[in-house]
Amino acid sequence: MWRPITPSAPTISCRACIASLDLTGGPVLPKSHNHLNLFQHPAVGLAAVVGQPDAYAGELPVGYVQLKPGATVAAGELEAWVRERAPERAAVPVQIFQIDPMPLTGVGKVFKPQLRWDAATRVLTKTLLPLAEKGIDCSVQVGPHGSHGSMATVTAVHVPEHERDAVSEKGHSTLAPFVLRHEIVFK
């Protein structure tokens, strides 16, 4: 929230700006620090840092990069690059994903909601591995939702009718620590 110099002046609140901050359970850090650090790497053409859901911290930073044509980076090189330049440890992305193409809006800006959905899909899919190990075929898709902003849909396939309540309960309890809304559907 922006505060004016004089106490009697009006205040301005910006709700959309919260998506540009890392809410890590510790300091609130602007994602722009990481974003700029990634852009400074000579192999990076486009970069963005978004929040990935975390059961403990709420959100952790993850980076997405599109390398310049013909450029390559060694495993861990981008992470080390950002770590050396980050103002503090909490600002370092927990992972950096190389994607091509980077999702863009109609005016050429990085479409960060798509990256947030991708990060959430990766985390929730990994979190639901215990269900898969029990033979339950499930997939996760995260996308826009009219009233909740974003929604994770877990689709369980070929689950017998008599097992669905137990699978649904296990799925909901597994995903409960995450602030992202979710639903479980059966096919």
Based on the domain organization, do 78 and 150 belong to the same domain?
no
List, in sequence order, every residue forming a beta bridge with 144; answer none if it has no partner. Answer: 150
3 lies in a domain?
Answer: no
Last residue of a domain, one of 72, 107, 142: 107
CATH value at residue 28: 3.30.300.30
Q: How far apart are CA 146 and CA 38, in angstroms?
A: 33
Is residue 77 located within the same domain as residue 157?
no
Which amino acid, residue 17?
C
* Domain-located, residue 122: no
- The answer to whether the CB of 60 falls within 8 A of the CB of 92 is no
Domain end marker among 47, 74, 107: 107
40-98 per-position pLDDT tens digit: 999 999 999 999 999 999 999 999 999 999 999 999 999 999 999 888 888 889 999 99
Q: What range does the domain containing 58 cover?
A: 16-107
Residues 94 and 33 in one domain: yes
Q: Which of 55, 74, 107 is the last residue of a domain?
A: 107
Residue 5 has pLDDT above 70, yes or no: no
Q: Are strands 182-186 and 137-145 parallel, antiparallel or unpaired?
A: unpaired
Number of domains comprising the chain: 2
Q: Same domain, yes or no, for 86 and 29?
A: yes
Higher pLDDT, 8 or 120: 120
Token pair belonging to 124: 């929730």
- Alpha-carbon distance of 149 to 93, in angstroms, equals 24
Q: What 3-state class would DSSP assign to 185? A: strand
101 and 132, same domain (yes or no): no
Residues 82 and 158 in one domain: no
